[in-house]
Amino acid sequence: MDLKVFIIKKFSKFILFFIFIFFSQASSVDQFENNKVLITLSSFNSLFNKGDYKEMVSFFDLPFTIILPNKTLLAQNNKKLISIYKNARNEQPKHYKYSEWQKMSVKLLNNEIAIVNTMYSEYNNKNEVFFTGSALYTLRKVKNNWKIISLTQYKPYNFFKVD
CATH number at residue 42: 3.10.450.50
Enclosing domain of residue 113? 3-154
Residue 162 lies in a domain: no
Q: Over the chain, what is the mean pLDDT?
A: 85
Number of Cβ atoms within 10 Å of the Cβ of 30:
14
Q: Which amino acid is it at 14?
A: F
Residue 13 lies in a domain: yes
Residue 161 lies in a domain: no
Q: Can you give the pLDDT at residue 30? A: 85
Q: Model confidence at 34, in pLDDT bands (50, 70, 90)?
A: very high
- Four-CA torsion 150, 33, 141, 49, nearest 10 degrees: 50
Residue 160 lies in a domain: no
Strands, E assignment, 76-144: 96-108, 113-124, 129-142
118-133 pLDDT tens trace = 999 999 999 999 999 9
Residue 124 lies in a domain: yes
Q: Can you give the pLDDT at residue 3? A: 56
Q: What does the pLDDT average to over 11-39? A: 63
What percent helix, strand, coil does the chain show, rounded to 5? 40, 35, 20
The count of domains in the chain is 1
